[in-house]
């Protein structure tokens, strides 16, 4: 079974991935004995949702961003443990296990404030060098 999760548009034109409880994945893991694959996909989506939505609520830091790096590492750990590959294609991210697609998630556009802050951070770093 392929799970597909579509982004949602907030009133202030911010794109987000929905919480796991608002997806079809939750229906398959919120039962007394979910399958191992359903639990794995649930953990994977929860980590990916945190990573992809991070900059919708936070701005990049000029000197690294440990919270974001933690989320990236969490996703990478789940990918390696579950022998899953991640491919970014067009406007979605596809996760494959054993040659078959198990999860497809819409890409979330970073807000304009992200790019403005990155530009300001580069200017600050150039001053301090």
State the total domains in the chain. Answer: 1
Cα–Cα distance for residue pair 118/35, rounded to 1 Å: 42
Domain containing residue 32: 3-127
As a whole number of angstroms, the distance between CA 2 and CA 44 comes to 14
Residues with Cβ within 8 Å of 117's Cβ and at least 6 positions away in sequence, in order, are: 59, 60
d(CA 129, CA 126): 5
Chain centre to alpha carbon of residue 112: 18
Question: What is the per-residue pLDDT across 76-100, written as a single tens digit (0 to 9) for each?
Answer: 999 999 999 999 999 999 999 999 9
Confidence class for position 62, pLDDT limits 50, 70, 90: low
pTM: 0.85
């Amino acid at each position: 079974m392929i799970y597909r999760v579509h982004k949602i548009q907030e009133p202030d034109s911010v794109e987000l991935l929905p919480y796991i409880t608002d997806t079809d994945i939750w229906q398959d893991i919120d039962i007394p004995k979910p399958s191992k694959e359903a639990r794995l996909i649930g953990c994977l989506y929860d980590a990916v949702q945190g990573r992809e939505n991070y900059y919708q609520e936070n701005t990049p830091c000029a000197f690294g961003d440990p919270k974001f790096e933690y989320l990236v590492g969490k996703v990478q750990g789940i990918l390696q443990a579950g022998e899953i590959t991640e491919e970014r294609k067009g406007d979605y991210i596809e996760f494959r296990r054993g040659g078959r697609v198990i999860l497809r998630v819409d890409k979330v556009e970073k807000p304009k404030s992200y790019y403005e802050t990155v530009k300001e951070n580069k200017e600050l770093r150039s001053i301090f060098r």
